[in-house]
Amino acid sequence: MRNFVVGLVVFASVVVAGTSLAGATGKFAYSEEIQFPSGDLLVVFEEGGQKRFDSVDYRLDATAQAIACQDPDHCIATIADLSNTVNGLVPDAKGRVSGNVELDRGSGGGVCTCTLHMDYANVTLTNLASGHVYRLDPISADTP
């Protein structure tokens, strides 16, 4: 029992430099990471129970807030609703689909060599074949 609790604590606390590992159920698992210097969000996922589909499409949606500061008195904040779709993922022999999808925050607020803080909220991954919507954890990170 102690090993299980320790393993669960280690698994649940994996949040380092804008990376979050979550959603590890038997049917669906994902990780999310904010990539720098771009500030884009990358979600890597795996979902089981998809044998009934020849291929599966997924859509990732989120609200992104970027704060770029050249110094504490000169900051620009932008907020955008972002969406991206990955098409044609084919289930393996066991019915599992694996893939990744990225949200490109664009150049809103300008891209600079300054401090950047990113927040992604209202993050969802939708299986467009089944209609199932997975609510993912919000994630935040600062430029390393």
- Give me the amino acid identity at 97: V
At 143 the pLDDT is: 86
Query: Residue 113: what pLDDT?
Result: 56
Contact 38, 25 (CB under 8 A): no
Which domains, and CATH codes, for the chain? 2-142 (2.60.40)
Average pLDDT of the chain to the nearest whole number: 82
Residue 3 has pLDDT above 70, yes or no: no
pLDDT tens, residue by residue, 95-123:
999 999 999 987 554 556 576 899 999 99
Query: How are the residues of the chain apportioned to helix, strand and coil, as percentages rounded to the nearest 5?
Result: 10, 55, 35
Q: Is the model's pLDDT at 14 over the cut of 80?
A: no
Average pLDDT over residues 118-137: 97
Higher-confidence residue of 14 and 76: namely 76
The residue-averaged pLDDT of 50-62 equals 97
pLDDT surpasses 80 at 2: no
